[in-house]
Structure 1
Amino acid sequence: MAISVRSCILLAAFIFITSHSFGQGILKTQGKQIVNEKGQPVIWRCMGLGGWLLQEGYMFRVGNLGTQHRIKESIAGLVGEEKTKQFYDAWLTQHTTKADFDSMAAWGFNAVRLPLHYNLFTLPVEQEPNAGQQTWLTKGFAITDSVLSWCRSNKMYLILDMHATPGGQGNDLNISDRNAGKPSLWESDGNRQKLIALWKQLAKRYANEPYIGGYDIINEPNWGFQDTADKRGTAEKMNVPLKQLLVDMTKAIREVDTKHIIIIEGNGFGNNYNGIEPTWDNNLVMSFHKYGNFNTQPAIQKFLDYRDKYNIPLWLGESGENSNTWFTECIRLVEENGIGWGWWPLKKMGINNPLEIKMPDGYEQLLNYWRGNGPRPDSATAWKVLQQLLNNIKVQNNAVHRDVVDAMFRQVQTNSTLPFKQHVIAEGTTVIPAVEFDLGKQGQAYYDKDTASYQYTPGVHTQGNRGHSYRNDGVDITSNDAGSGIFSIEDGEWLQYTIEVKKAGNYQLGFNTWVENAGAQLSILANERTLIDKLTLPVTDSKQSNKTTWVKNVPLPAGTTRLKLLANKGGFNLQSISFIKE
């Protein structure tokens, strides 16, 4: 995406203003902007805490179970109801803590979107002892109070997001923990009245809290009101029940809180606003969600048109789960248009988030049983695995993906690169793992022909890291017994490594490779000057037998050098590069 000099200057100025305007009272809307009490514009750089108060199966490789209530039932089937309760009590206290918030603030996030499950705050309609009345539970409010205190201590705004409504707000069951055997939000007036009452209760509690950024009153409705076959709600033309509920929730909130921003989402997973506008309140923000499409102006133009037509601020309320290249391009796009963003999620099993939950030993045994592909583990074994999972979800035990954070913040503003790790070339043998190429954008730190996923763009079937391992750049990385390595290197692809050479002189360089195609070649450049030109790599016998090819008398200058490894002819995998002083 080409960026003009003027755009860079405007973006830098906007980042400076919006990064220095927190702690200035309750936010509000002013025309097309979100501002603080001094009238300074505020842009949310927000992280969504998916998987904590509401589990979605794909985050923990149990997509076949999907909804939280089915995951809970499956755990109970192995360890019993009492231990399942212990597990979920520990999950709520250990998954996300103040240490997570301290980390997010240090990385650059200034807001947090907290996905709420209604059942932490109130009973399901069918369990109410007195029909039509609301029983309030302390657990959800206490958790939210704690989260607010963590935000306050880090000068971050908290956005309350009703992710799981009473009955569930759509046909995608997982995102709202919906039980399809019971009336949905749209099929039960009791469910709708409970949701309205819950928002009023929350707004009353937090009416004067300056670090509450806003109320995201219903996440991703997906329902065909006019046509039940329209399961996603993307073809809906009127959205009459959705608009009525949004208006009713707004009215209830305004009875107790006239100050805070209310965030609305359209049908079709937040993006179908047919029939919902014009607005009915002077302090609304229009949210849209963006996944797996191109990061070009036309991709968001209809929302920019809404902003102009209705004089309302926009917020990219949820996005993510792609490659670093896609992250940088998307964030750059919306920030250049004066739009804040909310990423999803902070942590899960997988590489495309700031924190990765590691799989416990023995977890595959549970997964295979739940998938119907393996024997039932005994209760003691299952409980041991679940206890390790509870340990692994803690931030201190998560894998931190610095490349993801770098792509979301630093790379949005600069083309410069940074070393992924410090590589000092000294006496003896120095080995650099191939996967430790520099941090930076596609075309700056590396070049790969396939750098992002456009899963919601018809006819486009590309991916980023097809090995789904180690880091989230466009380079294909896989793990095996020998460690992580780069595979499927194609013609013209390249990798950059920043090295610190202690002593100038001639070195032997060794390239540990597995070569599939005869004629595979690589070149090495130092600060864009060719050191090794078109080295032919020998074909290896099997994927289990890498071979190191050595080149002697390679001159390296003392100090910092940027080495570029260029695949003149691809068809090889790369495990490491070795250096020996001659």
Structure 2
Amino acid sequence: MTLSLLRREGRQIVDAVGQPVLLRGVGLGNWLLPEGYMWHFGDDAASPWQIEALITDLIGQKSAQEFWRRFRDTYITDQDIAAIAAYGYNSVRLPINWRIVMTEGGEWIEDGFDLIARTVEACRRHDLYVVLDLHGAPGGQTGTNIDDSAGWPDLFTDPRNRQLTIRLWQELARRYRHDPVIAGYDLLNEPLPGDHRDRYRDQLVRLYQDLISAVRAVDPDHLIILEGMHWSNDWSIFTELWDDQVVLQFHKYWNAPDTDSIRPYLDTRERLDVPIWLGESGENHLAWFQGTFGMCDDLGIGWNFWQWKKLGTRVSPVSIRVPDDWHLIQAAAAGGDRPDAETVAKILDQYLDNIALDACEQHQDVVHAMMRRAPLRLYAAHFPVGGDGISWSATRLDTGLRSFRESEGVTLAFADPEHTGEVSFPATGDPYPRPADALEVRLAAGEWVTYRFDVRAETDLTATLLGATSPDTRLRLSLDGTDLPADPSALGHAATALGRVGVGPHTLTVTVDNGWARLSAIDVGTRQT
């Protein structure tokens, strides 16, 4: 496969021959801009500069320099990029801290640019697009830990920071202006959260316009990706397009995975005739991943999962094993007792050994959930977007459930019959929803609902329906519109053979012919012989 320069064509991103490209990828965060939560640190070591200060304080400046050299050489390598491609993603988003590539005096740091170039070349070998993301701009665009700032968005208060940012983007554009591996330039990550958007809104608009002009002076072609204010989600500044090759980006965390939650972005896509992209989302459980990224696929919205690799996690594709005695480093990070230098060195050496991909744990179920790829559990409440007669045929009854898919016609309820109210989607670190948050689809006679899944290699599959039925229930299961001979009514007790299922997308439809069913999930798995 040969990558080609991407461009905007109305609401779609297309390649050189006009074929739509849906960017589906992962974020390479914590590499060029460390974030404390990915080290299991608290607020005292949340920003890159705080983490750097901690390491220096614990092992000294010379050893700290060697630590960061090994860290950057090991955290993201060709092995990671190859694995990302092998999982079926087509892109990565590369967060950059300006201090990696630029000195305080505005001089270029070639070692930093080499790290970016190394990743771009690895992506070229493995046919992945790269979104360059300025996650930490000079002075900071958010005023929080995620941009390496001192606690205020001084990108908007100091003209020198503004000029450095413009110079940096022009230099990145100059280096990559002809490179088809680069999908686009993500100019600022999550600018102006909270009250900052009221103070600096106009400055952000002018900065975006000046950044576009600076990029276009050297690169007339690449996509320019613009994020809204307030964690990327306030799009009120986007009343017009400032360039023909613009993509608008939103982020999504810890809220309902339904079309109502992204309605403002869908409306803007239609009003401005512009592609939209979910540039960051994740940090939840498998059901939420299925619902959120599946919804985006159904709506033709590209997406990027945050985050590829983290320490001690079950909700990322890759988990770094927690080193022995890591709690001692955590205690020091929180201002507690400091271990002796020999102990610290031993712990940090083990950490550096553990961050290599072949030393990590990989969680295929996380990938399969966001890709809706078999084998997986299809959570019933996260049926596809499509509407009446396409993804479901039903009449919605009020069960007391609120704030999730209320505009759709399928009856949804908490699995616990005593539970009513708003649905919550908290980040607990567990790959499965809390029992209190478990949901189900309720179907009456004559109603049906469809689910989508993907197969990467032809295989024999089965489907096991989970939930409850009435004594007289008769269910019918259909694969790609063809009824299966087996009766799946014994929910949770018998697997229905789907037969030999070929490569590509498939639909699985559950119909209630008689009685009722309360469906919580469908386990689609490989057939055991």
Alignment check: 8 A CA contact 2:294 2:372 kept: no
* Counterpart residue type for residue 122 of structure 1: M
1:273 aligns with 2:235: yes
1:138 aligns with 2:118: no
Deviant stretches of 4+, over 4 Å: 448-451, 458-464, 488-492, 526-532
Q: Which residue of 2 aligns with 1:72?
A: 52
* Counterpart residue type for residue 24 of structure 2: R
**CA separation in 1, counterparts of 2:377 and 2:492?**
23
Superposed displacement of residue 48, structure 1: 0.6
Superposed displacement of residue 141, structure 1: 1.1
After superposition, the CA RMSD in angstroms is 3.2
Q: Deviations over 1:429-488 (max 9, x none)?
A: xxxxxxxxxx3122599xx9689xxxxxx9655557x5x46xx23377xxxxxxxxxxx9
How many residue pairs align between the two structures? 418
**CA separation in 2, counterparts of 1:531 and 1:110?**
36
TM-score norm. by structure 1 comes to 0.67
- Which of the numbers 13, 31, 37 marks the counterpart of 1:34? 13
**CA separation in 2, counterparts of 1:321 and 1:489?**
16
1:213 aligns with 2:150: no
* Counterpart residue type for residue 262 of structure 2: I
Alignment check: 8 A CA contact 1:307 1:314 kept: yes
Superposed displacement of residue 251, structure 1: 0.4
Q: Deviations over 1:176-221 (max 9, x none)?
A: 11123x8711111100100100111110111110111000011100
Q: Which residue of 1 aligns with 2:366?
A: 404
Map 1:108-507 onto structure 2 (within 5 A).
Answer: 108-124=88-104, 128=105, 134-171=106-143, 173-180=144-151, 184-223=154-193, 230-231=195-196, 233=197, 236=198, 239-349=201-311, 350-372=313-335, 374-411=336-373, 418=375, 439-443=376-380, 461=424, 463=426, 468=429, 472-474=431-433
SS of the residue 1:318 aligns to? strand
Distance 1:135 1:191, change over 3 A: same
Q: Which residue of 1 aligns with 2:400?
A: none
Q: Percent identity?
A: 34
SS of the residue 2:210 aligns to? helix
**CA separation in 1, counterparts of 2:47 and 2:273?**
38
TM-score norm. by structure 2 comes to 0.73
- Which of the numbers 40, 43, 46 marks the counterpart of 2:22? 43
Distance 1:489 1:284, change over 3 A: closer
Q: Deviations over 1:341-363 (max 9, x none)?
A: 01101011211110011110011
Task: Please list every run of 5 or more consecutive structure 1 residues that lacks an aligned counterpart in the other structure.
Answer: 1-21, 129-133, 225-229, 412-416, 419-438, 452-457, 477-487, 493-525, 533-554, 561-582
Distance 1:394 1:255, change over 3 A: same
- Which of the numbers 39, 44, 58 marks the counterpart of 2:37? 58
Distance 1:333 1:530, change over 3 A: closer
**CA separation in 1, counterparts of 2:492 and 2:281?**
42
SS of the residue 1:186 aligns to? coil
Distance 1:164 1:444, change over 3 A: closer
Task: Please list every run of 5 or more consecutive structure 2 residues that lacks an aligned counterpart in the other structure.
Answer: 383-412, 441-486, 500-529
**CA separation in 1, counterparts of 2:492 and 2:82?**
45
Distance 1:357 1:24, change over 3 A: closer
1:105 aligns with 2:85: yes
* Counterpart residue type for residue 108 of structure 1: G
**CA separation in 1, counterparts of 2:73 and 2:61?**
19
- Which of the numbers 65, 89, 113 marks the counterpart of 1:85? 65
Distance 1:332 1:402, change over 3 A: same
